[in-house]
């Protein structure tokens, strides 16, 4: 018989036996986030460095120190004399990893494998003495660590395989991309966030749905379908999400693998130097500063994607956020840190919405604020985020707009507060559009579905609602 497809209905997000019980804290003992995180990390490193399995999978909720883990694992593998290749998904992620490695261990010989395009890597890498850059893998042979994107690695041929690999953002990597690089390494540590956006394909891939190696599925689901015995770990603490956000994100998007916030109530505070002028944007800012969440609700209306009123409302909220002299107080420093444009991001579902917001911000004279789609905001972190709700003003709720990962990314980028701008009526829209995706045999059912997660988030946001008629 050919290999059978993955067992149906085995949820990738269901509780994992390899995770120590202590992750779900004992109700009598006080929860010590640092100790829990350290214990999880120790387990992961032990399996990676001394385990017998060819692969180790680590699930990491938003802001749980995934990058820190990757850097630490890379350093320990290098220290143990194991040649290491690192696979990341984007050039920005690769450059970021190189910089972090160099910061921790300036003497470590690192190779940055890059493409043949013009300007293929961050110029900051030129400042680092021990980082060698090349478009040819052969030039980088023998270095302790070689880092590149999955796309570039896929073109590497005719080299001695590496003993070890770290695959970063493995849940965002497609199965076919892993197929192209898996011949380059003997063993690997796969790290990623199962709650973020799944990889996608611009053409239909239904004909392979249910096959264990469906090329459009995520690399991790293929890996685990063929190697179910691999140890799986997860990081139990989100250092990014504040105490106000972690419970909601955990309940709505990770119902079977809960996590906690690394900080407690009151550890993070957001305040404004300029008092509210009573307008909608100012009221929602005050609500978000007090509670960590704010929903600025515009009157119900069906609109084109680039809803001019909603786009302008987003821009106004950002403008006021800057004008009111925001200051963020956190565990990172004694002093409050001024909330500057580079600490703010706007998230949208579509690229045309992002560019409409950019234009509206330019009209209001705002520069330096990141405006991007959920896909591109993955893995990024800001103090405050302003989100244009994916379902705002829509007449229908398609699978794209309902995708769990999209909302999860948008709702989990912030350290202090998240403000959602939305037309009224999304609850009713959801009720009119239950998920109707066809059931595919052999495909792992993902929990929760986007419909459920959207309702959970919406119910929570309703408690922080500010009505506004522009």
Partner 1 sequence: MSLIATLARLEAVERGRAQPLATVRHRRVSERPLVFVPMTTAGEAGAPLGALVGTDPEEPRLLVVAQPRDRDLRSAFLAELADVVLPYLDGFGDEVEHVERKETDAETGKRVTVEVELCADAPQLIVPSRAGVEFVRLLGRSMRFRRTAEQDPDTPYPAPPRVPLLGRWLTHYGERARVPGSSLLLAATDLLNRHWATGQSSLEDQHLGALLAWIEADDGPDGGSGAEAALRAELGRDREGMLLCPPAGPATDPVFDNRRLAPAMERYDRARQLLATAEDGGSADERLGELHRAEREIRRLVADQMRPTWSAVWRTVELMRALPEGSRVEDRWTRDRWSFTAHRDRVRAGEPPQPRRDDAVTAAQKLAARETAQAQLEAQEALDDPLVLAGRRLAGEAFLSEVIDVEMAWSESKRPSPRPLVTVRTDDRPHLGERVKVFRSLEGRPQTAEFVRYEGEGTLVLRVMDRMGRAKDPAEGSVPAKGDRIAWTLFEHDQRGGPKLPDPEETPWTHGGPPRTDTAEIPDLVTPEDLL
Residues lying near partner 1 in the complex (CB under 8 A): 1-3, 54-55, 118, 151, 154-155, 157, 175-176, 178-180, 182-183, 188, 201-205, 207-208, 211-216, 219, 222-223, 226-227, 304, 351-352, 355, 358
Among 435, 383, 378, which residue's Cα sits nearest to residue 410? 378
Cα separation of 283 and 306, whole Å? 24
User: At CA 353, angle to CA 346 and CA 282, rounded to 5?
Assistant: 45
CB closer to partner 1 out of 32 and 432: 432
CB closer to partner 1 out of 103 and 437: 437
Cα separation of 100 and 68, whole Å? 9
Cβ at position 34, least distance to partner 1 in Å: 34
CB closer to partner 1 out of 155 and 465: 155
Cβ at position 112, least distance to partner 1 in Å: 19
Cβ at position 73, least distance to partner 1 in Å: 19
Cβ at position 164, least distance to partner 1 in Å: 14
Cβ at position 226, least distance to partner 1 in Å: 4
CB 408 within 8 A of CB 377: no
Cα separation of 151 and 134, whole Å? 15
Cβ at position 179, least distance to partner 1 in Å: 5
User: At CA 170, angle to CA 167 and CA 174, rounded to 5?
Assistant: 115
- Per DSSP, 449 falls in state -
CA distances for 383 relative to 170, 266, 274, 366, angstroms: 26, 15, 19, 17
Cβ at position 182, least distance to partner 1 in Å: 4
| HSE value, Cβ hemisphere, 13 Å, CA-based, for 368 | 7
CB 345 within 8 A of CB 370: yes
Other C-beta atoms within 10 Å of 464: how many? Answer: 21
CB 168 within 8 A of CB 93: yes
Q: Which residues contact 164 (CB under 8 A, 6 or more apart)?
A: 77, 82, 83, 84, 85, 185, 186, 187, 188, 189
Other C-beta atoms within 10 Å of 200: how many? Answer: 13
* Strands, sheet with 145-149, edge to edge from the N-terminal-most edge strand: 131-134, 110-113, 145-149, 84-88, 162-167, 185-192, 55-59, 232-234
Cβ at position 352, least distance to partner 1 in Å: 6
Cβ at position 55, least distance to partner 1 in Å: 7
Report the Cα 132 to chain-centroid distance in Å.
Answer: 29
CB closer to partner 1 out of 19 and 178: 178
Cβ at position 382, least distance to partner 1 in Å: 19
CB closer to partner 1 out of 256 and 400: 400
CB closer to partner 1 out of 320 and 394: 394
Place of tokens 């706007």: 346
The sign of the CA dihedral 121, 80, 167, 54 is positive
CB closer to partner 1 out of 148 and 250: 148
CB closer to partner 1 out of 5 and 25: 5
Place of tokens 């290999």: 3
CB closer to partner 1 out of 151 and 290: 151
CB closer to partner 1 out of 47 and 297: 47
């Amino acid at each position: 018989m050919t290999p059978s497809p993955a067992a149906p209905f085995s949820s990738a997000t269901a509780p994992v036996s390899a995770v120590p019980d202590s992750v779900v804290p004992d109700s009598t003992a006080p929860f010590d986030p640092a100790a829990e995180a350290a214990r999880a990390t120790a387990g992961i490193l032990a399996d990676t460095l001394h385990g017998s399995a060819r692969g180790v999978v680590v699930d990491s909720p938003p802001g749980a120190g995934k990058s820190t883990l990757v850097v630490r694992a890379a350093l320990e593998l290098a220290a143990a004399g194991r040649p290491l290749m690192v696979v990341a998904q984007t050039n920005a992620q690769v450059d970021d990893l190189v910089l972090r490695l160099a910061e921790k261990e300036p003497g470590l010989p690192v190779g940055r494998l890059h493409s043949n395009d013009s300007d293929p890597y961050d110029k900051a890498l030129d400042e680092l003495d021990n980082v060698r850059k090349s478009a040819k893998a052969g030039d980088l042979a023998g270095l302790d660590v070689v880092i590149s994107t999955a796309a570039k690695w896929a073109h590497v041929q005719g080299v001695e395989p590496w003993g070890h690999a770290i695959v970063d953002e493995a849940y965002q990597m497609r199965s076919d991309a892993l197929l192209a690089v898996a011949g380059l390494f003997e063993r690997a540590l796969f790290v990623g966030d199962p709650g973020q956006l799944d990889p996608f394909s611009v053409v239909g891939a239904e004909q392979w749905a249910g096959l264990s190696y469906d090329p459009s599925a995520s690399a991790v689901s293929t890996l685990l379908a063929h190697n179910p015995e691999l140890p799986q770990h997860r990081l139990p603490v989100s250092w990014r999400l504040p105490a106000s956000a972690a419970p909601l994100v955990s309940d709505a998007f990770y119902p079977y693998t809960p996590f906690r916030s690394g900080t407690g109530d009151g550890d993070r505070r957001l305040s404004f130097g300029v008092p509210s002028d009573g307008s909608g944007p100012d009221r929602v800012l005050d609500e978000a500063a007090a509670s960590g969440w704010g929903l600025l609700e515009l009157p119900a209306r069906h609109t084109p994607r680039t809803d001019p009123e909603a786009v302008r409302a987003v821009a106004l909220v950002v403008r006021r956020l800057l004008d009111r002299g925001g200051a963020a107080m956190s565990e990172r420093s004694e002093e409050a840190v001024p909330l500057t444009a580079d600490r703010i991001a706007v998230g949208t579902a579509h690229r045309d919405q992002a560019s409409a917001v950019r234009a509206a911000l330019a009209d209001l004279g705002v520069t330096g604020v990141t405006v991007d789609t959920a896909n591109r905001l993955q893995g990024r972190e800001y103090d405050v985020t302003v989100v244009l709700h994916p379902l705002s003003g829509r007449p229908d709720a398609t699978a794209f707009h309902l995708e769990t990962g999209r909302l999860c990314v948008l709702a989990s980028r912030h350290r202090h507060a998240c403000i959602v701008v939305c037309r009224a009526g999304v609850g009713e829209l959801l009720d009119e559009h239950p998920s109707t995706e066809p059931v595919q045999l052999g495909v792992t059912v993902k929990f929760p579905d986007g419909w459920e997660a959207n309702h959970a988030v919406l119910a929570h946001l309703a408690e922080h609602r500010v009505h506004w008629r522009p």
